Structure 1
Amino acid sequence: MHYEGNMIRPPSEANSILLQATVGCSHNKCTFCAAYKGERFKIKSDDIIMEDIAFAAQYCRRQDRLFLCDGDALIIPQKRLVKFLTEIKRQLPWVTRVGTYANHKSLSMKSLDELKELRELGLKIAYMGLETGDDQTLKHVRKGCDSEKMIAMGKKCREAGIQLSITVLVGLAGRERSQEHAIATGKVLSAIDPEYVGALSLMIVPGTELYTEYEAGDFPILEPDEVLTELGTMIANTNLTNGLFHANHASNYLPIRAKMPEDKEKTLALINKALDGKVALKPEWMRAL
């Protein structure tokens, strides 16, 4: 396989074939993210991608899922993406699911019919970083869109029959807007109604603009109890018809895996127990990105 740069994939794609179709992130402006700093976004050549598909056909027969890396492979023009997915389907018939990252920009560039075409060719899940439903925070972290656009693009993805996994960041709004961020995020998640939600707790990375704010004293990091309070508010304001709300990433203080809506009240009770000191939290040294 031909891999370049700082390649990243979702935790749930740990056992997938990793096919790198793009390098970097097409947006790459978020103030909290250092994943692709210094990398210029590009789509890899057809020849390289086809070589890697052929390699996977020979050496990756035990893996039945494939993930298109990097930060936003969905932005590849439709004709080329159809070509790649068709070849994956032809050479890797045992692959049951193809996944990719998606953002508001790439989803807006695809029509509903184009997304449905990709779904028919095996693209069955997209991972979208919402981070927050609070418009003020979205603007502050330079996400590049507002909550209304996020809702529209999330709904379009779901209407196309592509499962949606949405990431949110607890602590991203700082202390002053913690509750506004939590409530607004819950409302946006409810409007989109994705199959999966993954909540991460903010960890500030050196070299990012948000880290510069933190060093200057302009951005306070939430204490563990504040993180839990914010997460509880977010879950309380999230209504999913049939989804999984995960907060079991290595960055989180309290591992949570809730089937919504049936586990909602039980999960809120668990958070309250943790706030009362009756449930142990992950120590700081064990947290990681």
Structure 2
Amino acid sequence: MNYDGDIIRPPSEANSIILQVTVGCSHNRCTFCGAYKEKKFRIRSQEEVLDNIAFAARYCGKQKRVFLADGDVLILSQKRLVALFELIRENLPQVNRIALYGNAKAIRAKTVDELKELKRLGLHRIYMGLESGANEVLAAVKKDETDKSMALAACRAKKAGVFLSVTVLLGLGGVQNSLHHARETARVLSLMEPKQIAALCLMPLSNTDLGRQYQEGTFELPDSTGILLELQELLLNITCYPVQFMANHASNYLPLSGRLPRDREAMLNSVKMALLGNQPLVPERFRAL
């Protein structure tokens, strides 16, 4: 498979065929994200995409899922997306599920009927980054979104019947806005009603504005106790059910996974035990993005 630069994909897409349709991210201004800082956004040529589909048809016959990379495939025109999905169906007939990253702006740019059309052609899951439900935090990290615009995008995906997985970042509000960030994030998640929530922990990167603020001391990251308290607030205040809740990414201090509301008390008890020092945390040297 011919890739341009490193490929970022959700952990749950580890066994998927990764087709790189775009390079980088069209927004690429979030102060915390270093994934695409070295890439200039572009849409890969038809020839490049066709070559990779041909490679997958030849060598990936046992894989039944496709993930479309990089960070912003949904920004493509509906005509081009429909043609791409039809190519996948024609050349990879064993594939029964297509997933991609979709930012809120790209989701809102599609009508419900357009999203339904993509679903009929195989789109199963959109991974969307909320990061925070607090408008001041979203503004500070240059997300160019608000709680309302995020919820509107989620509503559109839900009406189309597309599985929505939403990512949030513990610690993104810093020490100053820590619990406010957690509570507002839980509030907006409850409005969005995703099928899956993934909670990661902020790890400041040196190639990002937020990473430089962290190094200069102008952004104070909550310590492990502060992060656990944010996790506790999330679990206490999310009210959309049923939803799969995961905090088992490599960045997390306390790996958790369960279904809300069924497993809420068990997960809260794990957090409580960790806060009391009765449950070990992942050592810093083992945490990673």
TM-score class, shorter-chain normalisation, is over 0.9
Structure 2 match to 1:159: 159
Structure 2 match to 1:143: 143
User: What's the secondary structure of 2:187's corresponding residue?
Assistant: helix
TM-score, normalised to structure 1, is 0.98
The one-letter code matched in structure 2 to 1:9 is R
User: What's the secondary structure of 1:200's corresponding residue?
Assistant: strand
What is the Cα deviation at residue 201 of structure 1? 0.7
In 1, Cα distance between equivalents of 2:203 and 2:166: 18
Would you say how many aligned residue pairs link Structure 1 and Structure 2?
Answer: 289
User: What's the secondary structure of 1:184's corresponding residue?
Assistant: helix
The one-letter code matched in structure 2 to 1:74 is L
In 1, Cα distance between equivalents of 2:166 and 2:141: 17
The one-letter code matched in structure 1 to 2:10 is P
Structure 1 match to 2:60: 60
In 2, Cα distance between equivalents of 1:87 and 1:161: 22
Structure 2 match to 1:284: 284
Structure 2 portions without partners, runs of 5+: none
In 2, Cα distance between equivalents of 1:6 and 1:73: 16
In 2, Cα distance between equivalents of 1:54 and 1:211: 40
Kept in 2: contact 1:133–1:187 (CA 8 A): yes
Residue 173 of structure 2 corresponds to residue 188 of structure 1: no
What is the Cα deviation at residue 43 of structure 1? 0.7
Residues 105-151 of structure 1: CA deviation (Å, up to 9, x unaligned): 11121111100000000010000010000000000000011010000
What is the Cα deviation at residue 45 of structure 1? 1.0
User: What's the secondary structure of 1:166's corresponding residue?
Assistant: strand
In 1, Cα distance between equivalents of 2:6 and 2:139: 26
In 2, Cα distance between equivalents of 1:3 and 1:110: 27
Q: Please, what is the CA RMSD of the aligned residues?
A: 0.9
The one-letter code matched in structure 2 to 1:206 is S
Structure 1 match to 2:92: 92
Structure 1 portions without partners, runs of 5+: none
User: What's the secondary structure of 2:82's corresponding residue?
Assistant: helix
Residue 211 of structure 2 corresponds to residue 250 of structure 1: no
User: What's the secondary structure of 1:55's corresponding residue?
Assistant: helix
What is the Cα deviation at residue 88 of structure 1? 0.5
Structure 1 match to 2:272: 272
Residues 32-54 of structure 1: CA deviation (Å, up to 9, x unaligned): 11111131111111122122112
In 1, Cα distance between equivalents of 2:219 and 2:235: 24
Kept in 2: contact 1:50–1:84 (CA 8 A): no
In 2, Cα distance between equivalents of 1:173 and 1:149: 19
Residue 8 of structure 2 corresponds to residue 8 of structure 1: yes
TM-score, normalised to structure 2, is 0.98
The one-letter code matched in structure 2 to 1:111 is T
Structure 2 match to 1:29: 29
Runs of 4+ in 1 over 2 A off after TM superposition: none
Paired-residue identity, %: 47
What is the Cα deviation at residue 193 of structure 1? 1.0
